[in-house]
Amino acid sequence: MPELPEVEVVRLGLAPAVTGALVTAVDVLDERALTRHDRAAGDFAARLVGRRMSEPRRRGKFLWIPLDGPEALLAHLGMTGQLLLREAWARPESERHVRVRLELRHPQLNELAVFFVDQRTFGSLAVDGLVETGAGDAVPAQAAHIARDAMDPLFDDAAFAAKLAKKSSGIKRVLLDQTVISGVGNIYADESLWAVRLHPEQAASSLGTRTKNRLLAEIRLVLAKALAEGGTSFDSQYVNVNGQAGYFAHSLNAYGQDGKPCARCGTPIVRVSFMNRSSHFCRRCQRVR
């Protein structure tokens, strides 16, 4: 599933094309792409056509484009969702798995199209109301429960440390809890824990102040590196708005490296089952203490 760097890459790619653009037409080709949309509040296409878009925003894995009025076009990419920029004349049948097509008119770029492509239909679009967070910003109601991410200027380091102190669960499980810290998924949790030499099952409450500070610093460093390299792509399921893959996969030290020697000590990286997915770590460098 796309994590913070991948969603941020998509946001950055969309911003120049959609900021200030007017929605002129919406073609819903597959209703399964609207599972998050509240149909009782109005038809998806009808609530978008004629609306002007503002600069896209993101919290964790949620991406949204504010509209004129207290609403936003919300996107959750799920496992395989993609938002692709296309020429205005591009038709859905020119690509596979196009679920929704938006036509936009931009003040400088003129007409263009945005395709929502989703091979496995786990992602979704919705028109959602914006709610105030109390910090001067507004987020879609469906994302209001999501914590800020470590790259957010308003992220509270002390509050994060305090939450860890109250959690007896393994540190990786806590990092994946989007109400504690958002945007960190399986890949970047494994990478951050490897960097700090923490075992995924080390109790979060057992971490000292220095270790918690180092962990947060490494989370930020890993996310920043992944963002600089366009995110992590193992196949064509994650691409940016132009259909290009990220290349952070070449920089991974733990995730997906099972059987390969640890870059630090040479011990083979292991892969174990974890919450219907996998954890990757070095048995020598990352021991439970």
Residue 61 bears catalytic tag: yes
Residue 277 bears catalytic tag: yes
Q: Are 147 and 62 in contact (CB under 8 A)?
A: no
Phi, then psi, of 85 in degrees rounded to 5? -85, 135
Catalytic residue among 3, 8, 71, 218: 3
Taking the C-alpha atoms of residue 54 and residue 71, their distance in angstroms, rounded to an integer, is 11
Catalytic residue among 58, 59, 61, 148: 61
Catalytic residue among 2, 56, 140, 200: 2
Catalytic residue among 120, 166, 260, 277: 277
Q: Per the structure block, which two tokens stand in for 167?
A: 């959690």
Alpha helices by DSSP H, listed for the chain, are 4-18, 44-48, 157-165, 171-175, 186-196, 209-228
Percent helix, strand, coil in the chain, to 5, is: 30, 25, 45
Taking the C-alpha atoms of residue 129 and residue 135, their distance in angstroms, rounded to an integer, is 17
Q: Catalytic residue numbers?
A: 2-3, 61, 277
